[in-house]
Amino acid sequence: HPILFKLLIVSTVSGGGLLAFSDAGPFERLITNSSQNESKKKKVVVLGTGWAGTSFLKNLKSSSYDVQIVSPNNFFAFTPLLPSVTNGTVEARSIVEPIRNIVKKKPYNVEFKEAECYKIDPVNKKVYCRSNQSPNLDGIEEFTVDYDILVLAMGARVNTFNTPGVEEHAHFLKEVGDAQKLRRSIIDCYERASLPSVSEEEKKRIMHFVVVGGGPTGVEYAAELHDLAFDDLAKLYPSAKDYLKITLLEAGDHILNMFDKRITTFATEKFQREGIDVRTGSMVVRVSDKDISTKERKTGETVSLPYGVVLWSTGIATRPVVKDFMSQIGQAQRRVLATDEWLRVEGCKDVYALGDSATINQRKVMEDIAAIFKKADKNNTGTLDLKDFKEVVSHICERYPQVELYLQKNKLKSFDALLKNAQGNDKKEIDIETFKKALSEVDSQMKSLPPTAQVAAQQGEYLAKCFNRMELCEKNPEGPLRFRASGRHQFHPFRYRHFGQFAPLGGEQTAAQLPGDWVSIGHSTQWLWYSVYANKLVSWRTKMLVISDWSRRFIFGRDSSKI
Ligand code: FAD
C-alpha cells in the first residue's frame, strides 16, 4: 500500500529503522515516529491567492510546514491584464492559473479551501471561514482553521469613499468576474443603442461611458475602451458609433499623478486628440442608475452627466475582516494594517501581512532611526564625526530601504547639504539636530510603498525565503544588529527593488517610467510591455494562451459576442 510504503521510508530516514523492534511492535512504532514528525511541523495558514499569497507559496521550499490555503478564488489572476479582458483582447481564462496547479509539486504538505475568512482570532490562533459554495442542509458552510503562523495576503477592496450610489450602480475592475461583467455591459449598450425603438436622447445616454479615477487602471481602461470602439465596434455597429462618448473624471489636477510629468502630459494630449474627454478637478458626489453628479472645483457647480456604463477606479481600502482584526490588536486608529520591516504585524505575534492588505509602519521606522543615531552618539555630545555619520547613514539605508529609495530619488539633497556643511566646518562634525531636521524632511516626503503587484510579489518571495531559512536562522541570526537589545535580527528586513512602471495608453502605445527616472513612450515601449508581461505570467500555459490571444486579436480583431 503506497501510504504504508511512505511510512516505511519516513521511519527509515528518521532513524526509526525497520529492524528496531520495540514493545510497541514495528508498525505501531513506525506510525508513532511519523506522527511525531508531522506534529512538529508548524501549521501555516495563508489567506489569499493573489500576488502576495501566490508568490509566497511558489517560493516556499521547506518541508517543515503544513500549509493551509484559504481563498474565495481557487486560482491566481494576473491583474495587470484585467483591462485587456474587458475588451476581449485577452480571454479571462488565459490570465488565471489554478492554485492547485501552482502548489502541486511543492515539498510541503498543502491543502486548499475555497472559502473566505470572515474573522481572525489572534488570541486562540484561529481563523473563521465561510464557504462560497451553496449551503448545506443547515444553511451554513462555516468552519475554523487553527494556525501557528498566519500569512495575511487578502489584498484590499475598492475604495468608494462612501459616495452614495457607487456600490449599487458602478462597475469595478478588481476581479476577473468584474472584467467579464464590464465587457458584457459595454456590448449590451451597443446592442441597445442599435435598436430602432430607442430614442435619440436615450442612445446618447447609453453610449456615454464614464471612467472615474485617473490612475493607471482608469487610464488604461479608457484607452482599451477607445481601441475596442474604434478598431472593432465602429465597423460592426455603424448606427451606434456616432453616439459614443468616453469621459475620464479625475478629482485631482492631472491624470497619472504618480508618473513623471512628461507621461502625464503625453497621455492627456493623446486622449484629447482622440476625443476622450478628460475632466480634472471633477469630484463625483453621487451616482444614480442613470446619471453621475460631479462637483467641479473650478466653478463650484454641481454637474449631472447621464451615462450608460460607469467604471469606478479610485484606489483601495482595507477589507472589513482586516479592519475587525486591527481593532482587536490595538490598530483601530490606523487606516491600513501596520507591519514592521520584517512584515510582522505590529501588536500581534506570529501574524505576517503582505501586499495590498498592509503597509510598513513609517512612523516606527523614523523612531527607530532616531534611536540608531542616539546609540551612535556614545558620549551624548549631540554631534557625530563625519566617519560615524556616514556609517550611521549606511546602517540606516541597509535597514530601511525606503530611506535609501528616497535618498536616491531626491538625489541626496538634504543629506548632501548636511555632508557639505560638515566638510566645510572645522570640526568635521554633524549636528544631531540638523540631522533630525533632515530626517523629518525624509519622513514627510517618504511615501509608503505603492500598492502594486511588484511590491506584493517581492514581499511574498521575501517571506518565503525567510521561512525556508527559519530553523537555520534561529541558531545563526543573520540580520542587522539590534539596537534595543543585544544580538542580531533573525533576518534582513524586507528590501523593495523598483523595476519601473508601465502605463498602456492605447493605439499600441505605452509609457514606461523606469528606475533612474528614465522615461520611454511610444510603440517600441508597447513591445517592451508585451515582452515583460508575457514573461511575468505565472505558467507556460498562461504564457501560451495570452500570446495566442494577442496574435488572434492582430489577425481577426476582438470578439464582440455577448456571452
Ligand atoms: P490581491 O492580488 O488582490 O489578492 C488578494 C487575494 O485574497 C485574492 O486571492 C482574493 O480572492 C483573496 N481574498 C479576498 N478576500 C478574502 C478573504 N476574506 N479571505 C481569504 N481570502 C480573501 N500592479 C502592478 O504592479 N502593475 C500593474 O500593471 C498592475 N495593474 C493592475 C490592474 C488592475 C485592473 C488592478 C485591479 C490592479 C493592478 N495592479 C498592478 C495592482 C496589483 O494587482 C495589486 O497591487 C496586487 O494584486 C496586490 O496583491 P495582493 O496579493 O496583496 O492582493
- The string of pLDDT tens digits covering residues 38-62 is 557 899 999 999 999 999 999 999 9
The response to whether residue 217 sits with its C-beta less than 6 Å from ligand 1 reads yes
The pLDDT value given to residue 19: 30
Tell me the residue type at 131.
S
- Ligand 1 binding pocket includes 130 (Cβ within 6 Å): no
Q: How many beta carbons lie within 10 A of that of residue 288, not counting itself?
A: 14
pLDDT score recorded for residue 130: 93
Is 314 touching ligand 1 by the criterion CB < 6 Å?
no
CA atoms within 13 A on the CB side of 553: 21
pLDDT at 440 over 50: yes
User: 65 or 497: whose pLDDT is higher?
Assistant: 65
Q: Please, are residues 177 and 183 in contact by the beta-carbon 8 Å criterion?
A: no
- Side chain identity, residue 304: S
Reply yes or no on whether the pLDDT at 276 is more than 80. Answer: yes
Pocket test for ligand 1, best of 144, 356, 463 (most atoms within 8 A of CB): 356
Beta strands in 270-385 (DSSP E): 277-280, 282-287, 291-296, 302-306, 309-312, 316-317, 337-339, 351-353, 358-360, 383-385
389 compared with 183, residue with greater pLDDT: 183
Q: Is the pLDDT of residue 24 over 50?
A: no
Q: What is the pLDDT of residue 32?
A: 42
- Local confidence band at 303 (pLDDT 50, 70, 90 cut-offs): very high
The rounded percent of the chain whose pLDDT value lies above 90 is 63
| pLDDT range class, residue 341, cuts 50, 70, 90 | confident
pLDDT tops 70 at residue 30: no
ipTM metric: 0.99
The distance in angstroms from the start CA to the end CA of the chain is 48
pLDDT at 251: 95
Burial 361-386 (b: 16+ CB within 10 A, else e): bbeebbebbeebbeeebeeeeebbee
What pLDDT shows up at residue 449?
77
Q: Tell whether ligand 1 has an atom less than 6 A from the beta carbon of residue 49.
A: yes
| 301 dihedral zone (left: phi>0; alpha: psi -120 to 50; beta) | beta
- Predicted confidence (pLDDT) at residue 445 exceeds the cutoff of 80: no
The answer, yes or no, to whether any atom of ligand 1 lies below 6 A from the CB of 406, is: no
Question: How far, in Å, from the CA of 76 to the mean position of ligand 1?
Answer: 9
Is the pLDDT at 1 greater than 60, yes or no?
no
Complete edge-to-edge strand list for the sheet that includes strand 42-47? 142-146, 126-131, 109-121, 65-71, 42-47, 149-152, 351-353
Q: For 218-247, what is the mean pLDDT?
A: 94
Q: What is the pLDDT of residue 473?
A: 78
Is the separation of the CB atoms in 153 and 56 below 8 Å?
yes
Grid cell, residue 38, equals: 508531522
| Structure confidence at residue 418 as a pLDDT band (50, 70, 90) | low
Instruction: Using pLDDT thresholds of 50, 70 and 90, give the confidence band for residue 33.
Output: very low
Chain centroid to Cα 228, Å, comes to 27
pLDDT over threshold 60, residue 426: no
User: Distances in Å between the alpha carbon of 500 and those of 334, 450, 517?
Assistant: 29, 12, 9
Residue 481 pLDDT grade (very low, low, confident, very high; cuts 50, 70, 90): low
**Which domains can be identified in the chain, with CATH numbers?**
1-30 (no CATH), 41-156+318-360+456-480 (3.50.50.100), 166-317+499-556 (3.50.50.100)
Antiparallel, parallel or unpaired: β 75-77 and 96-98:
antiparallel
Q: Give the model's pLDDT for residue 194.
A: 94
Tell me if 41 sits within 8 A of 109, measured CB to CB.
Answer: yes
AA letter at 455: V
Q: Which of 71-85, 354-368, 508-522 has the lowest mean pLDDT?
A: 354-368
User: pLDDT tens digit string along 456-478?
Assistant: 999 999 999 999 988 787 777 77
* Alpha helices (H) along 14-143: 26-40, 51-59, 82-86, 99-103
Ligand 1 centroid to Cα of residue 296, in Å, is 32
Q: pLDDT tens for residues 184-194?
A: 999 999 999 99
- Please indicate whether residue 513, judged by its CB atom, sits closer than 6 Å to ligand 1: no
The pLDDT tens digits of the residues spanning 484-502 come to: 566 667 787 887 888 889 9
With a 6 Å cutoff on the Cβ, whether 153 touches ligand 1 is yes
Mutation probe of ligand 1 site: the residue of 57, 79, 546 with most atoms within 8 A of C-beta: 79
Mean pLDDT of 125-140: 79
Cα of 355 to ligand 1 centre, how many Å? 8
Question: From CA 337, how far away is CA 534, in angstroms rounded?
Answer: 33
Tell the burial category of 124 from Cβ atoms under 10 Å away from its Cβ (0-12, 13-18, 19+).
Answer: exposed
**Cα–Cα–Cα angle for 531, 535, 537, nearest 5°?**
125
Q: What residues have CB less than 8 Å from 197, skipping those under 6 apart?
A: none
Distance between CA atoms of 509 and 55, rounded to whole angstroms?
Answer: 30
pLDDT given for residue 13 in this prediction:
35
Task: Look at residue 140 in the predicted model and tell me its pLDDT.
Answer: 67
Which of 31-40, 332-341, 361-370 has the highest average model confidence (pLDDT)?
332-341
| CA neighbor of 337 nearest in space, from 350, 318, 321, 320 | 318
Q: Report pLDDT for 532.
A: 95
Q: What's the CA gap between 207 and 204, in Å, rounded?
A: 5
For 359-368, the CB contacts below 8 A with 24+ separation are 359/448, 359/449, 360/402, 360/448, 360/449, 360/494, 362/402, 362/443, 362/446, 362/448, 363/443, 364/338, 364/340, 365/341, 365/400, 365/402, 365/403, 366/439, 366/440, 366/442, 366/443, 368/399, 368/400, 368/483
Q: Ligand 1 pocket, 71 CB below 6 A?
A: yes
Kindly provide the b/e burial profile for residues 77-113, where b requires at least 16 CB atoms within 10 angstroms of the residue's own CB.
Answer: bbbbbbbbbbbbbbbbebbbbbbeebbeebebebebb
Grid coordinates standing for 286?
A: 453621487
How far apart are the CA of 80 and the centre of ligand 1, in A? 10
Distance 118 CA to ligand 1 centre (A): 18
Q: By alpha-carbon position, which residue is closest to atom 46 of ligand 1?
A: 453
Name the residue among 358, 376, 369, 445 with its Cα closest to residue 400: 369
Q: Is 117 in the pocket of ligand 1 (CB under 6 A)?
A: yes
Higher pLDDT, 518 or 78: 78
Q: How far is the CA of 178 from the centre of ligand 1 (A)?
A: 13
Ligand 1 near 512 CB (within 6 A) = no
DSSP string, 57-93: HHH---SSEEEEEEESSSEEE-GGGHHHHHTTSS-GG
Angstrom distance (rounded) from CA 442 to CA 407: 8
In testing the pocket of ligand 1, which one of 119, 152, 154 has its CB within 8 Å of the most ligand atoms? 154
Binding site membership of 110 for ligand 1 (Cβ less than 6 Å): no
Q: Is the CB of 127 under 6 A from ligand 1?
A: no
The Cα 24–Cα 13 span in angstroms is 19
Nearest residue to 438 (alpha-carbon basis) of 427, 450, 446, 448: 446
What percentage of the chain exceeds 70 in pLDDT?
Answer: 78
**CA–CA separation, 184 vs 311, rounded Å?**
13
Mean pLDDT of the chain: 84
Tell me the angle at which helices 401-409 and 386-399 cross, rounded to the nearest 10 degrees: 110
Interval 130-134 mean pLDDT: 80
Can you tell me the distance from the alpha carbon of 140 to that of 115, in angstroms, rounded to the nearest whole number? 12
What is the reported pLDDT for 476? 75
Of the candidates 153, 148, 141, 155, the one whose C-alpha atom is nearest the C-alpha of residue 122 is 148
**pLDDT at residue 420 tops 80:** no
Give pLDDT tens digits for 506-546: 999 999 998 777 899 999 999 999 999 999 999 999 999 99
pLDDT of residue 433: 66
pLDDT of res. 22: 36
pLDDT per residue over 377-408, tens digit each?
A: 777 776 777 677 777 777 666 666 556 655 55
Stretch 157-161: mean pLDDT, rounded? 95
Higher pLDDT, 431 or 380: 380
The residue-averaged pLDDT of 142-155 equals 96
Q: In the prediction, which pLDDT does 450 show?
A: 82
**b/e map of 251-271 (b: 16 or more CB within 10 Å)?**
beebbbeebbeebbebbbebb
412, pLDDT greater than 90: no
The average pLDDT across 543-555 equals: 96
350: alpha, beta or left, given left = phi > 0 and alpha = psi -120 to 50? left
